Amino acid sequence: MRQIYRRSTGMGSPGAQKIMGAITTGMGVLGSLNGGTMGIFVVVGILTIVIGFWSEKNPVIVLHEDHLEMKLAPATARHLIRYRDVAEIDNRGPNKIFLVVHGKKIRLPVKVLEPSDLQLVLAAVRDSQPSQPAADQARGEQE
Amino acid sequence: MNGLIIASVIINGLLVLLLGTTGEYPAGLSIAMGVSVLVSLGGALLIAAGARRPGAILVMIGCALFVPIGLIGVIGGRRVLDELKQEAFDAGR
């Protein structure tokens, strides 16, 4: 099992989320002290800080022996993908890479991963794909 | 049922009580928020009764009106759905 975390630099990094959260909270507190109704800023800021800590603690992708699991944020769905179910890796550009699973396209979070980690994920999926003759043979045996 | 859902229903309920008693906000808003709390409470009860999927969806719908603080309930509901997904995935091996 290998855990892959968010990249540590850039706007989507946990550090940046915490800084943005702190700034938003500060704005909310200052605004409220000056008689404004900026409580919403405090709530949003605190939630952003919490999400920053969550991102730091939880991996974006976990590579298991036969499948990978992917969860980008606390409120988003967890994707569980068996390597053998990946029909195709659809590479549509540097930031748009999809895994085609049962006809459904699942986008890989390219922007939040280090390039080396992305290669690791792609290698894990590719390496567990049956070679074309082996896949044809398996299909033939099933029929 | 997880603690996030319970906490969210309590926080949202308290918010409705707070808004309802100040009288500064239109009655329609208080009613809409009250209905949302009832929807999420119904979802929480459904989860407790064993109907986890419809319950989690109801909790998420009920908490959506309270975002950003309602995000707590949305995360709780999502966690229940993720658990169900994991169980179905493990059963399909």
Q: In 3D, which of B67, B65, B44, B66 has the Cα closest to residue B56? A: B44
Q: Give the best residue of A78, A79, A82 to mutate against chain B (max B CB count within 10 A).
A: A78
My answer on whether A52 and A78 are in the same domain is: no
My answer on whether A121 and A67 are in the same domain is: yes
My answer on whether A21 and A81 are in the same domain is: no
Tell me the three state secondary structure of residue B51: coil
Burial B6-31 (b: 16+ CB within 10 A, else e): eebbebbbeebeebeeeeeeeeeebe
Q: Which tokens is A65 given?
A: 């022996």
Asked if B89's CB is within 8 angstroms of A43's CB, the reply is no
Å between A64 CA and nearest CA of chain B: 13
Domain range holding A14? 2-57
Å between A72 CA and nearest CA of chain B: 12
Residue A109 lies in a domain: yes
Could you give the CA distance from residue A99 to residue A116 in angstroms, rounded to a whole number?
18
Asked if B71's CB is within 8 angstroms of A80's CB, the reply is no
The answer to whether the bond into B68 is cis (omega within 30° of 0) is yes
My answer on whether A77 and A108 are in the same domain is: yes
My answer on whether A8 and A66 are in the same domain is: no
Q: Which tens digit of pLDDT belongs to each residue from A6-36?
A: 887 777 788 898 999 999 999 999 888 887 7
Selecting from A43, A47, A78 the residue whose C-beta is nearest the C-beta of B82 gives A78
Tell me the backbone φ, ψ of residue A103, rounded to 5 degrees: 80, -5
Could you give the CA distance from residue A13 to residue A3 in angstroms, rounded to a whole number?
16
Task: Judge if ipTM > 0.95.
Answer: no
Q: Which tens digit of pLDDT belongs to each residue from A95-142?
A: 888 888 888 899 888 888 888 888 888 888 888 766 554 444 544 544
